[in-house]
Amino acid sequence: MPKVFIKTYGCQMNERDSEQVATMFIDGGYTMTDREHEADVILINTCSVREKAELKALGKMGLLTRRPEAKPHVVYGFMGCMAQSKGDELFRALPRLDLVIGTQKYHHIFRYVDDILRKRLERRMDDLSLSLAGSSVCDTDEETGSQNAIRDHLAQTGHSSAFVSIMQGCEMRCSYCIVPSTRGAERSRPMQDIIDEVESLVRQGIKEVTLLGQIVNRYGKDEHAVDGKSAFVRLLEQLNGIDGLERIRFTSPHPIGFREDLVNAYRYLPKLCSHIHFPMQSGSDRILKLMRRPYKNEKYISLCESMREARPDLAITTDIIVGFPGETEEDYLETKRAVERIGFDNAFIFQYSPRKDTPAAAMDGQLPQSVKEARNQDLLATVNAIAIEKNAALVGTEQLILVEGPSKTNADRLSGRTPQNKPVIIEGGSELIGKIVPVRITESTGFTLYGEIAPC
Ligand code: 5AD
Ligand code: SF4
């Protein structure tokens, strides 16, 4: 049985796509391995959002293809956003590379790989001296219906939560972002397919699903609202009705298309978790306009306030870019003030990275690395102070924890998450994995909470 190693960079969408690819190899008689040196097939699923992510993937593939001990028949492939954006130029950078597969072609990877591997192994039996390198496939075309191909899952043994991809693509054209060109136009899956997938996951023991999409709340955007409810809210309602499913999350929504019906969903859908990851990007209206984000900071803040009114314990996390071209000190301070005013539970802060063929990369006022770094550090200190304070306020409260598995730092303890998506470490046996248990929070060490199972 040939062995496949997949390394994934980037977002949860990529994690999910890699899982889909893995299922296809398993169905085809291969096995997965997490040891790269024993693999017959090495795939890297790449991210293009920042230059750093691309460099990491290129560096990793460079190391893997140049290992002197590597077996000559090994098939090497790039998939994902960088594969889509760079295409066959990757073969010039890495002569030993065999495959470059774009974001709408994952369901063909198995066939391409299996074909190359078979030919190599057959030839090797005939003549060991034959050169085995040099076959190359680049497939980065668009494909109608490709969003429907991300639907299979690995066996869910020992897992309590799963990702479900409900739409692909983005048409927002934010001026800094490469995603519209790597992921293509917005395409949604049929609602019944998603419901069937979630029901099947629940039958396998899954308690929590996270719905994924580049702009997840634009799911089914071309469908008419029914009783004032968008397709996305109707999907949430349907999933809320599935017996055995306990928790629903989604990521990432955009303020555009975030209407009253979705805010209200936090009032009447008990399975919708009290956490939203809601990218703000900037607190300065001037910068938001340059970013081509079609909302003002006040609008973003009022949406956060409405959601908190609908669900008082809602945790809000966000993405923020610092050092966008032309960002003045005053623009940056507006972002910082917005962060303080909203009081995010946490935030990912990104230093602006110019991306290929995006309008912002050609804008005047590109900032030096030192300014980006200083704003990043300063904002991080603010974000962390608020996050620590929010976690400390949870000490003494009782939280329902979905137990995920052994803690990564100490395998004798268990780790789980609150509805607000905060990790909690508890003592307990493996029989608790996959269960939702009441826990009293006893301690917070800044970012990690500790608790003990509350007596019934
Ligand atoms: N530079 C820095 N950060 C970026 N992001 C997207 N494009 C860029 C870029 N060119 C950030 C945004 C987005 C997150 C996934 O990555 O904040 O929400
Ligand atoms: Fe990175 Fe965006 Fe692609 Fe996800 S969709 S891997 S964040 S470029």
pLDDT given at position 134: 53
* Closest among 345, 347, 450, 351 to 387, alpha carbons compared: 345
Q: How far apart are CA 149 and CA 110, in angstroms?
A: 13
- Cβ 281 under 6 angstroms from ligand 1: yes
Nearest listed ligand to the Cα of residue 359? 1
**Ligand 1 atom closest to residue 353's alpha carbon, by position in its atom list:** 1
Q: How far apart are CA 53 and CA 285, in angstroms?
A: 28
Q: Are 234 and 197 in contact (CB under 8 A)?
A: no
**Ligand 2 atom closest to residue 11's alpha carbon, by position in its atom list:** 4
pLDDT given at position 131: 45
What is the radius of gyration, based on Cα positions, of the chain? 23
Cross-strand pairs, 77: 43, 99
Ligand 2 first shell, C-beta below 6 A: 10-11, 13-14, 47-49, 80-81, 179, 182-183
pTM of the shown model = 0.95
pLDDT given at position 125: 61
Q: Are 215 and 257 in contact (CB under 8 A)?
A: yes
- Cβ 175 under 6 angstroms from ligand 1: no
* Closest among 445, 448, 361, 435 to 404, alpha carbons compared: 435
Nearest listed ligand to the Cα of residue 13? 2
pLDDT tens by residue, 42-99: 999 999 999 999 999 999 999 999 998 888 899 999 999 999 999 999 999 999 999 9
Q: Are 29 and 1 in contact (CB under 8 A)?
A: yes
The residue whose C-alpha atom lies closest to atom 7 belonging to ligand 1 is 177
- Cβ 219 under 6 angstroms from ligand 1: no
Region of residue 323 (left: phi > 0; alpha: psi -120 to 50; beta: else):
left
pLDDT given at position 295: 96
* Cβ within 8 Å of residue 427, ≥6 positions away: 413, 414, 452, 453
Q: Could you tell me the distance, in angstroms and rounded to a whole number, from the CA of residue 403 to the centre of ligand 1?
A: 31
Region of residue 227 (left: phi > 0; alpha: psi -120 to 50; beta: else):
left
pLDDT given at position 130: 44
- Cβ 56 under 6 angstroms from ligand 1: no
**Burial grade of 337 (CB within 10 A; 0-12, 13-18, 19 or more):** middle
Q: Could you tell me the distance, in angstroms and rounded to a whole number, from the CA of residue 253 to the centre of ligand 1?
A: 14
Residues of the chain short of pLDDT 50, as ranges, are 128-132
